[in-house]
Amino acid sequence: MQKASRLPFIDAMKGIGCMAIVLHHLSVYGPMSEIVGESAPWLIEGLVLYARLAVQMFFVLAGFLVASQLAPLGQPLSKSPAPLIWKRYKRLVTPFVFAVASATLITAIVRPWFAHQSLSDAPSIAQLIAHALLVHSVLDIQALSAGVWFVAIDFQLFAATVLLTALMHRTSTQWRIAYPVFIVVLAALSLWVVNRYSQFDNYAPYFFGAYGLGMIACWSSRPARGLLGLLIITVLGVIALLLDFRNPITVAFATAVLVSIASQNGWLEKWPKPGVLTWLGHRSYSIFLIHYGICIAFNAIWYRFFPTGVAINALGMLTAALTSVGAGALLYRYVESQQGVIGRNKKTSLLIVSVIAAISIESITW
pLDDT per residue as tens digits for the range 200-250: 999 999 999 999 999 999 999 877 788 899 999 999 999 999 999 999 999
Residue 254 has pLDDT above 60, yes or no: yes
In angstroms, the CA 340 to CA 325 distance is 23
pLDDT per residue as tens digits for the range 114-160: 877 778 777 888 888 888 899 988 888 888 888 889 999 999 999 99
3-class DSSP state for residue 124?
strand
In angstroms, the CA 364 to CA 289 distance is 20
Task: Return the pLDDT at 20.
Answer: 96
In angstroms, the CA 224 to CA 227 distance is 8
Which of residues 1 and 336 earns the better pLDDT score? 336
356 falls in which pLDDT band (50, 70, 90)? low
Instruction: Please provide the average confidence, as pLDDT, over all residues in the chain.
Output: 87
Instruction: Give the Cβ contact number of residue 150 at 10 Å.
Output: 18
Residue 105 has pLDDT above 70, yes or no: yes
Q: Which of 14, 153, 168, 157 is nearest to 78 (CA)?
A: 168
Task: Return the pLDDT at 351.
Answer: 52
Average pLDDT over residues 76-98: 90
| Domain locations along the chain | 8-363
Task: Return the pLDDT at 272.
Answer: 75
Task: Return the pLDDT at 365.
Answer: 46
Residues β-bridged to residue 124: 365
- Contacts for 233 with CB less than 8 Å, ≥ 6 apart: 213, 216, 217, 220, 253, 256, 257, 260
Task: Return the pLDDT at 343.
Answer: 44
In angstroms, the CA 56 to CA 61 distance is 9
pLDDT per residue as tens digits for the range 141-152: 888 888 889 999
The whole-model pTM stands at 0.89
Question: How long, in residues, is the chain?
Answer: 366
User: Are 336 and 285 within 8 A, CB to CB?
Assistant: yes
Give, rounded to a whole angstrom, the gap between the first and last alpha carbons of the chain: 33
Determine the distance from the C-alpha atom of residue 299 to the mean position of all C-alpha atoms in its chain, rounded to a whole number.
23
User: H helices then E strands: how many in the chain?
Assistant: 17, 0
Q: What percent of the chain has pLDDT over 70?
A: 91
In angstroms, the CA 183 to CA 167 distance is 13
Q: What percent of the chain has pLDDT over 90?
A: 62
**Phi and psi, residue 209, nearest 5°:** -55, -50
- Contacts for 61 with CB less than 8 Å, ≥ 6 apart: 2, 5, 10, 13, 14, 214, 255, 259
